[in-house]
Structure 1
């Protein structure tokens, strides 16, 4: 079974042993970040540094002329990934015998939201989420589509994995997060992730809802949750709080918006890519879910992309709706966190991977070769040798 390890350019550049070390894990591919959000990352084996602080979302290569004169444009990286950091790392990884695929983070950019607040999701109370660009806005959509095409199709890359190609909402690990005091549950998270920017208010209207009346209904629905009322139960919980017809109309608008963005972005990547270039989406099979693993309709997304990367650290059940589509040749990549300190279980990778295969997985993704300890990597190496 083909396995790929996620990697940052700063894991490789400046460390002459990094590429061979990653290849020695037994993986055949490196999924290398080319556009990534702000982060603070450990580099436990690097000869020059131990902590990398990427201060804002950035492209990890020199952006091209398509962005000249545009208000929304990608930010260059600072000293954490200077120059063509992606290209340098890709060359080293290819030299170690690995296929290189790009790893592109899209609708998740706090600096964009800070400098252009009008682009952000705005909740029913008027609070903006600067980390979450609203994917309904025409300018934001154009920016994301062009970023997808540019960041995905880098020299030497044989495919791409597009992360956060859909709605982002409230649930997000923001800097010094302190929002866990009230358990919102699945339904409350959905209601607090609904956007009420001008584009979304118009979209609700196109689906038969008065945006003002909807906003009042959402505030009324979520008010008991702030006082401790339960808001779980999946979509049935949303319908219980907001009502079936209103819930269905909001979901229709948001599903349509995400689907059309996914179609347009994948088409742009394919137009820029050579033949045989593989396009995967990080995905959750529940279309109303938000986040890095974008909520999708399984049948639709597998008709658009070559496959999906599905979070499986907590179990492989999310693979099933994709496998049930029976789409021949589709890549169903089970994504496992293999960093024990981040909640992963590298010691059970073999068993977890076998269960994922039973649920339909065709490939493995391992998060993350640069962040993992030596012990974690040894466990991964041993598991892959047995698979």
Structure 2
């Protein structure tokens, strides 16, 4: 049990195709040897190009875009219809783990609003920037159809996967740069430019913001003019200057600050709906952002304190370059989320984090008094030396 009164999970993130490649029994044996008792398994995921250093059937894998890795109920969904991953034709990782490794708890990992397949099929529910360009990879959480889809997806995963918890990633808006196919720009992009390019002004956002007393159309026009000048000048802006410009805009442009706060209420409301739709015995964990540091979660519409109240736990990705940076981020997350927030930690025990993985144990020691669970990301991506550090990391939970 944790200090917060819940179970402590020692988890490893994994993909169904890696379980299939390794074989369920061998996969479970390896995780047991590392000290894990939980698998956080991708149940709804997006496209990618993944290097698998210890893959057996191949070293580079292309996931089937925007699909589900569990046997879903088509009748459970409204306008936005999910598709099954092709792997289910031959292998059901959730069922295999339940049958062959029943001692492991399963967490269903749901990527919610990052779905290029659905965004391409239904562009009207995607994010639309201040120039009215659509982002097909980013479903807008202010859209009613998207909210209904995310709620149905999590409820369906709870039914089909019978997990101990649902871990929801991307409950909000994706940032401008998020690994879309062959992203390209022949000018430097600073944080200020990325922020403005990442804001959504679709019909649902404009209507919702205006109901909250924000003149979103005027804000859209103003930001479009600002960005037009910025893109025309193409002048490099330092990281420090970009942060100063963001701070000045938030102080002086009251509509922008109010708009960003309103976005947080949208994401919190969606998470509250998901929590209400799940059985009480299945916990809801929220991955608020993969922005570094976690203080930037607001870029995606995540308010740590409000999400901690809406969900059962925050699943924080402490993807930092050193153990010291992990400790600093943890202190800030605790300050923002509040003393009662239940915080889980996710670490990457190798490049590009934690001095190439050398500070994994030190990072665990920095976290262990404050966190309710520890997970490592991601089984298939990690080379053998990094996999070994998972075991050392779990042992560091107990060793002074």
Normalised by the size of structure 1, how large is the TM-score? 0.86
SS in 2 for 1:368: coil
Query: Are residue 254 (structure 1) and residue 263 (structure 2) matched?
Result: yes
**Which residue of structure 2 lines up, in the alignment, with residue 200 of structure 1?**
205
Q: Is the 8 Å Cα contact of residues 336 and 344 (structure 1) preserved in structure 2?
A: no
1:308 pairs with one of 306, 314, 336: 314
Q: Greater CA deviation, 297-306 or 341-350?
A: 341-350
Determine the C-alpha separation between the residues in 2 that align with 1:82 and 1:289.
Answer: 39
Q: Greater CA deviation, 164-173 or 375-384?
A: 375-384
> Residues 34 and 7 from structure 1, CA distance in 2 versus in 1: closer, same or farther, beyond 3 angstroms?
same
1:190 pairs with one of 195, 203, 215: 195
Query: Are residue 365 (structure 1) and residue 400 (structure 2) matched?
Result: no
Q: Is the 8 Å Cα contact of residues 281 and 307 (structure 1) preserved in structure 2?
A: yes
Deviation at 1:46, TM superposition (A): 4.3
Q: Greater CA deviation, 125-134 or 227-236?
A: 227-236
Query: Are residue 105 (structure 1) and residue 118 (structure 2) matched?
Result: no
**Which residue of structure 2 lines up, in the alignment, with residue 276 of structure 1?**
281
Query: Are residue 40 (structure 1) and residue 49 (structure 2) matched?
Result: yes
Q: Is the 8 Å Cα contact of residues 285 and 314 (structure 2) preserved in structure 1?
A: yes
**Which residue of structure 1 lines up, in the alignment, with residue 80 of structure 2?**
72
2:363 pairs with one of 340, 343, 352: 352
2:221 pairs with one of 209, 216, 219: 216
Structure-to-structure mapping, 1:78-97, within 5 angstroms: 78=86, 80-82=87-89, 85-91=92-98, 94-95=101-102, 97=103
Determine the C-alpha separation between the residues in 2 that align with 1:93 and 1:241.
Answer: 55
Query: Are residue 123 (structure 1) and residue 129 (structure 2) matched?
Result: yes
SS in 1 for 2:34: coil
Structure 2: gaps spanning 5 or more residues: 1-7
SS in 1 for 2:358: helix
Query: Are residue 55 (structure 1) and residue 64 (structure 2) matched?
Result: yes
Determine the C-alpha separation between the residues in 2 that align with 1:77 and 1:50.
Answer: 19
Determine the C-alpha separation between the residues in 2 that align with 1:166 and 1:244.
Answer: 23
Q: Is the 8 Å Cα contact of residues 231 and 237 (structure 1) preserved in structure 2?
A: no
Deviation at 1:3, TM superposition (A): 2.3
Count residues in correspondence: 373
**Which residue of structure 2 lines up, in the alignment, with residue 337 of structure 1?**
348
**Which residue of structure 1 lines up, in the alignment, with residue 339 of structure 2?**
326
Determine the C-alpha separation between the residues in 1 that align with 2:390 and 2:220.
Answer: 48
SS in 2 for 1:135: coil
**Which residue of structure 1 lines up, in the alignment, with residue 275 of structure 2?**
266
Q: Is the 8 Å Cα contact of residues 32 and 90 (structure 1) preserved in structure 2?
A: no
Deviation at 1:181, TM superposition (A): 3.2
Deviation at 1:124, TM superposition (A): 0.6
Task: Describe the superposition over 1:63-98 as per-residue Cα deviations: whole angstroms up to 9, x where unpaired.
Answer: 114246x431111112x4436623234326634x32
Q: Is the 8 Å Cα contact of residues 80 and 146 (structure 2) preserved in structure 1?
A: yes
Determine the C-alpha separation between the residues in 1 that align with 2:395 and 2:179.
Answer: 34
**Which residue of structure 2 lines up, in the alignment, with residue 237 of structure 1?**
245
Q: Is the 8 Å Cα contact of residues 56 and 111 (structure 1) preserved in structure 2?
A: yes
**Which residue of structure 2 lines up, in the alignment, with residue 382 of structure 1?**
392
Deviation at 1:280, TM superposition (A): 0.8
Determine the C-alpha separation between the residues in 1 that align with 2:362 and 2:260.
Answer: 37
Determine the C-alpha separation between the residues in 1 that align with 2:63 and 2:18.
Answer: 13
Deviation at 1:155, TM superposition (A): 3.6
Structure 1: gaps spanning 5 or more residues: none
Normalised by the size of structure 2, how large is the TM-score? 0.84
Deviation at 1:250, TM superposition (A): 1.1
> Residues 295 and 338 from structure 1, CA distance in 2 versus in 1: closer, same or farther, beyond 3 angstroms?
farther
> Residues 177 and 160 from structure 1, CA distance in 2 versus in 1: closer, same or farther, beyond 3 angstroms?
same
